[in-house]
Every structure is written in structure tokens, then in C-alpha cells.
Amino acid sequence: MRELKNMYPHANTIVCIEDSKLLKRFQYDILHDAKGLQATLDELNSINYFHTYLNAEIGDYSEMLDSLMENTFELIKDISPDESVWRMFALYYDIHNMKLVAKEKFFKRRFDALTLDYGTYTLPTIRSAAVREADNILENEDLTRGFFEALRVKDTYDIDFILDKTYFITLKNMAGKSGSPGIAGFVTEKIDLFNISLVFQTLAEEIPEGYFNKAFSDQGSCALAEWQKYLDVNKPGEIEKFTLWKKYRHIWADAKNREQLLSGVDVWIDNYLIEKTKICKLMAFGIEPICAYFFNKLMEIKNIRILLEGKANHYSVAEIKKRMRIPYEI
């Protein structure tokens, strides 16, 4: 019998079960219509959203969401068929904590309270990794190289620029190691859309000159030189001729004005990426449905944070809805 590849019976079965528990559109509608924060929490408690025998209350829902995040990352780590899979998801939080340590060195003060606990490395490990580059304590040359570049900067803003670039370099390499062209292509699109978001950010007030070039990631499908051909400040419409821009133009085509565009583009980009993952619901086996589930589970937790904070601050349902991402369903 021919050996079947890309089948992970344990992981694929668990993901299939967990995928069925993701919130559906009608459940979001119920949550939106709930009258106030506690009523919204009561709805979540009724479906055991937090996966605990304790009920979420107004005073502790944030901690319970943190616990849900921790459990989600434990599940990713436990069932990932390859280390690179769960590390792709943990990488964002590793980079966040590396930024904190670089800023600790810069400002000569500790930022323990700002640590996020979902990464691969503990904060003490990252602090140890900041001592000597040759030790490569992070055991990843891309991360170590970018980290020490950030540690040597003379302007604190450069820490974020450098480590954001390091994030995309490392993420793309990890995606390549996954062995899935689909995941590698998804990451490239994610980077292209990040660069597009940068273009819109430059339209906002008080953005310094050269911001795009500093923040740009070269891990997408087009080099910086290609982008620069269409970014002439004296010809604002030139970007519309850019092939990559034309490819994604439909994402923000319905924006009615500049304000709506600037406030909504990142949500629309996330919605586009969620739509791209929906094909994975039709896949019984493989690494793609595993990654798609966790990508969307983290999006869902982000949605619930937005929803609950909106309810806590008495935002209108319309205001909350426009900040939330679409559900992962077909």
C-alpha cells in the first residue's frame, strides 16, 4: 500500500472537533444583541466559551481570556506535527517580548508587567540571549541576528522597525519548513498586505518622512524598489497602477471616505485572510487545516476581547461590529 503523506490522524481529528466549536455568525449576533457586559458574559457562560466550570464575571473576564489563550497555545504545542507549526503562532509573542528586552536595555528599566506569556521563550531566557550574540541562546540565527541589531540601535523607534522585519523573515522561513506551499503562499500574502497597510498608515497625520521605507518588509512578493516606483508623494494616484495594488484593491474598495478607509483597512485585511483559510474546512487531513483552525481560533479570541471591551465602554453595537472580524464558517 502506498504510504499516505501529510496525514496526522490525531491532530486532524482534534482540530476537526475543535473547529466545530468555533463561534458561528448567529452566535455573534446573539452576543452583539445582549444588553450590557454582564449579559454578554452570561451568553458566553451558557455555551461554556471559557472551557471552565467557573463563570466569567465583570471583574475577571480578562484573566479568563488570558487563560483561554494559554490553553490554546498548549493545544497547538501538544498536537503540532512539527515544531515549526506551533512556533509560527508563538513567534508574534516572542518578538513582542524581545522588543521589551531591547527597550529594557535602552531605557535601563524593567518592563515585566508588559510581558506576554504565549511565546516560545521565557523573559529570563530572552534577557540571557541579549548578553552575547555568539551564544545564540534563542537557537535561531534569524532571531539572534535581528535581536542584536535591535539591541545596538540609538533610536528606540528603530527597535520596533528592526524586530518587525525580523518577525517576517523568521515567519517566512518557518512557513517554508512546514513543507506546505499553501502556508508559504499565505504568509507571503500576509506580508504583502502588511506593506499595503503601511501605505495607508503614511496617509495618517504626523507620520514622519521615511516611515514606509523603515517599516517595509522585503519578505513579500515585491522588493522595496518596485514599491518605490509608485509611491511618489507628488503623484498620489500612481499607486493605482501597481500590479500588487490592483490585486488587492477589492479589499478596501467599499470605503466611503478617507476616515473609514484608515480605520477599517486592517479589519478588512484580516477578513480577506480569514476568507483565504476557509478552503481548509474542506480538507480532512494535512497541515493546512491545523494551521487554519488555530489562526481562526486566535482571531475569535481577539473578537471576543474587542466585543467585551466595547460592551464595557458602552460602545454602540455598530461601533463594535465594525471592529470585529468575520467568523470562520462556510
pLDDT at 1: 34
Q: Report the chain's C-alpha Rg in angstroms.
A: 21
For residue 2, pLDDT beyond 60: no
Task: Examine residue 168 and state whether it is found in any structural domain, yes or no.
Answer: yes
pLDDT at 90: 96
pLDDT at 116: 93
Range 219-242 average pLDDT:
87
Confidence of residue 264 (pLDDT cuts 50, 70, 90): very high
The fraction of the chain above a pLDDT of 70, given in percent, is 97
Task: Examine residue 271 and state whether it is found in any structural domain, yes or no.
Answer: no
Distances (CA, A) of 33 to 77, 154, 260, 282: 35, 50, 24, 31
Amino acid identity for residue 310 in this structure: G
For residue 206, pLDDT beyond 80: no
For residue 233, pLDDT beyond 70: no
Task: Examine residue 153 and state whether it is found in any structural domain, yes or no.
Answer: yes
Q: Compute the distance between CA of residue 88 and CA of residue 169 in angstroms, rounded to an integer.
A: 11
Task: Examine residue 225 and state whether it is found in any structural domain, yes or no.
Answer: no
Give 4 or 330, the one with higher predicted confidence: 330
Range 8-17 average pLDDT:
92
Q: How far is CA 218 from the centre of its chain?
A: 18
Task: Examine residue 161 and state whether it is found in any structural domain, yes or no.
Answer: yes
C-beta of residue 60 within 8 angstroms of C-beta of residue 108: no
Task: Examine residue 131 and state whether it is found in any structural domain, yes or no.
Answer: yes
Confidence of residue 107 (pLDDT cuts 50, 70, 90): very high
Task: Examine residue 130 and state whether it is found in any structural domain, yes or no.
Answer: yes
| Count of structural domains, the chain | 1
Range of the domain at 108: 82-179
Q: What is the pTM of this model?
A: 0.93
Residue 127 belongs to domain with CATH number: 1.20.1690.10
Task: Examine residue 247 and state whether it is found in any structural domain, yes or no.
Answer: no
